[in-house]
């Protein structure tokens, strides 16, 4: 951490002030363990929103100025994936800790170069998978470790989006693009990370993906079968069609089955009706961010932590790109 000025909190500079940047700004500010000292986005309107909401945060002239600023300890990268490679290599060269949104880069080659850069520089490098830090996931992990589930017979992920991107993501045009967007990269990656965390390394057994006629646009439907620690993991989903969005992840066991729906709502069954668990949690998503940022503080202070590294994110990306190439 930069010691040029005595501080009790790490100083964070934000590159990218879109949907994910704002979400992290909100959560880091609420957490209280960070000083958000610098921010930059190419969109002047996005910068003005931050200027008004966070008046103590200095808006940098460019991403390069932000990374080279001696006051910045941590560079958080929430720009579109095509820019991650450039900003990561710049931050690694400046010996900054790096917190990056996924995917790392737009292809395996650029992501591998990012991993090499941060590891060669010896800088702390982590990727944002907050979903896997939530209390429902911790409970699932405990149930598996205690054998309360019994033998896992299979794992299912079922997705449906009435439109892609989702309404709240509409400004992020890049999410529609085959090069760097799509719901497989944006959503399925969280679940690939989760199943590898719960069951060990995954391999793709089979995959099929449908794309529109326009070669610039991302997938519309997909199916994949993974093998993960001797267990079959079935992933399926699509975009388009009237109806509520569906994000449903089920672990089928011989004693108890567990289901996550709408990301963070947990149900269980022992053969009777599904029972809702952890009803006392008013906002599981916020709880997941709080736990993740606690974990990140541990990483910055050199304490034990479980934050996913760039190399871990590359493992996830390898699976995702193999599915998309299916």
Each residue's pLDDT tens digit, 93-139: 999 999 999 999 999 999 999 999 999 999 999 999 988 888 999 99
Residue 154: the pLDDT is 97
Is 289 part of any domain?
no
Do 93 and 140 lie in one domain? The reply is: no
**Range 280-300 average pLDDT:** 87
Which residues, in sequence order, are bridge partners of residue 171? Answer: none
- Asked whether the predicted pLDDT for residue 151 surpasses 90, the reply is yes
Closest CA to 268 of 173, 150, 177: 150
The whole-chain average pLDDT of the chain stands at 94
- Domain around 261: 131-283+311-324
Do 173 and 317 lie in one domain? The reply is: yes
Is 295 part of any domain?
no
Q: Where residue 283 falls among pLDDT bands split at 50, 70, 90?
A: confident
Q: Where residue 168 falls among pLDDT bands split at 50, 70, 90?
A: confident
Are the CB atoms for 312 and 174 separated by under 8 Å? no
- Tokens of residue 220, six digits: 């519309």
Q: Where residue 7 falls among pLDDT bands split at 50, 70, 90?
A: low
The CATH number of residue 89's host domain is 3.40.50.720
Q: Where residue 1 falls among pLDDT bands split at 50, 70, 90?
A: low
Are the CB atoms for 180 and 165 separated by under 8 Å? no
Do 84 and 162 lie in one domain? The reply is: no
Q: Where residue 171 falls among pLDDT bands split at 50, 70, 90?
A: confident
Measured distance CA(274)–CA(266) in Å, rounded? 10
Domain termination residue (choose one: 127, 149, 178): 127
Do 182 and 261 lie in one domain? The reply is: yes
- Asked whether the predicted pLDDT for residue 300 surpasses 90, the reply is yes
Location of structure tokens 């149900």? 267
Which residues, in sequence order, are bridge partners of residue 13? Answer: 38, 75
The CATH number of residue 275's host domain is 3.30.360.10
pLDDT tens readout for residues 192-216: 999 999 999 999 999 999 999 999 9
Residue 3: the pLDDT is 47
Is 291 part of any domain?
no
- Asked whether the predicted pLDDT for residue 175 surpasses 50, the reply is yes
Residues 6+ apart with CB under 8 A from 261: 246, 247, 248, 249, 267
- In the structure, how many helices (H) and strands (E) does the chain have? 10, 14
Spacing of C-alpha 114 from chain mean position: 17
**Range 307-323 average pLDDT:** 98
- For the chain, the domain total comes to 2
Instruction: For Cα atoms 302, 88, 36, give the angle at the middle one, nearest 5 degrees.
Output: 60
Domain termination residue (choose one: 87, 103, 127): 127
Residue 121: the pLDDT is 98
Do 172 and 248 lie in one domain? The reply is: yes
Do 89 and 197 lie in one domain? The reply is: no
Within the chain, strands assigned E span 11-15, 35-40, 58-59, 74-77, 97-100, 125-127, 152-161, 202-210, 221-228, 231-239, 246-253, 257-261, 265-269, 275-277
- Tokens of residue 118, six digits: 């941060």
Is 305 part of any domain?
no
Do 120 and 212 lie in one domain? The reply is: no
Q: C-alpha distances in angstroms, 123 versus 89, 91, 92, 109, 202?
A: 11, 9, 7, 20, 27
**Range 296-303 average pLDDT:** 96
Do 77 and 219 lie in one domain? The reply is: no
Is 225 part of any domain?
yes
Do 147 and 93 lie in one domain? The reply is: no
Spacing of C-alpha 324 from chain mean position: 18
- Asked whether the predicted pLDDT for residue 45 surpasses 90, the reply is yes
Do 211 and 229 lie in one domain? The reply is: yes
Do 116 and 174 lie in one domain? The reply is: no
Is 213 part of any domain?
yes
Do 88 and 206 lie in one domain? The reply is: no
Is 4 part of any domain?
no
Residue 87: the pLDDT is 98
- Asked whether the predicted pLDDT for residue 242 surpasses 90, the reply is yes
- Tokens of residue 291, six digits: 């736990």
| DSSP output for 237-254 | EEE-SSS--EEEEEEEES
Is 306 part of any domain?
no
Domain termination residue (choose one: 78, 112, 127): 127
Are the CB atoms for 127 and 310 separated by under 8 Å? yes
Ranking 200-204, 230-234, 261-265 by mean pLDDT, the lowest is: 261-265
Q: Where residue 4 falls among pLDDT bands split at 50, 70, 90?
A: very low
**Would you give the end-to-end CA distance of the chain in angstroms?**
43
Give the residue with greater pLDDT, 182 vs 282.
Answer: 182
């Amino acid at each position: 951490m930069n010691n040029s000025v005595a501080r009790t909190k790490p100083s964070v500079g934000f590159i990218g002030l879109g949907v994910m940047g704002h979400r992290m700004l909100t959560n880091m500010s609420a957490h209280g363990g960070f000083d958000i000292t610098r921010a930059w986005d190419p969109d002047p309107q996005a910068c003005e929103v931050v200027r008004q909401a966070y008046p103590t945060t200095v808006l940098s002239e460019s991403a390069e100025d932000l990374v080279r600023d001696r006051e910045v300890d941590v560079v958080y990268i929430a720009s579109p994936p095509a820019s991650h490679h450039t900003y990561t290599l710049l931050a690694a060269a400046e010996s900054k800790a790096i917190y990056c949104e996924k995917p790392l880069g737009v292809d395996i080659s650029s992501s591998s170069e990012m991993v090499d850069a941060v590891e060669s520089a010896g800088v702390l490098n982590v990727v944002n998978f907050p979903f896997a830090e939530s209390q429902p996931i911790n409970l699932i992990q405990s149930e598996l470790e205690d054998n309360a589930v019994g033998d896992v017979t299979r794992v299912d992920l079922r997705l449906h989006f009435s439109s892609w991107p989702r309404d709240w993501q509409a400004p992020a045009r890049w999410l529609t693009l085959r090069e760097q967007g799509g719901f497989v990269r944006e959503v399925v990656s969280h679940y690939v990370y989760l199943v590898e965390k719960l069951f060990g390394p995954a391999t793709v057994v089979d995959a099929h993906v449908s794309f529109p006629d326009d070669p610039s646009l991302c997938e519309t439907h997909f199916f994949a079968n993974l093998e993960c620690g001797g267990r079959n993991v079935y992933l399926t989903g699509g975009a388009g069609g009237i109806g509520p969005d569906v994000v449903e992840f089920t672990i089928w066991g011989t004693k108890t089955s567990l289901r996550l729906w709408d990301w963070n709502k947990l149900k269980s069954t022992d053969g009777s009706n599904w029972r809702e668990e952890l009803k006392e949690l008013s906002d599981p998503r916020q709880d997941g961010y709080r736990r993740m940022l606690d974990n990140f503080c541990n990483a910055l202070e050199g304490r034990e932590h479980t934050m996913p590294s760039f190399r871990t994110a590359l493992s996830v990306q390898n699976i995702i790109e193999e599915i998309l190439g299916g």
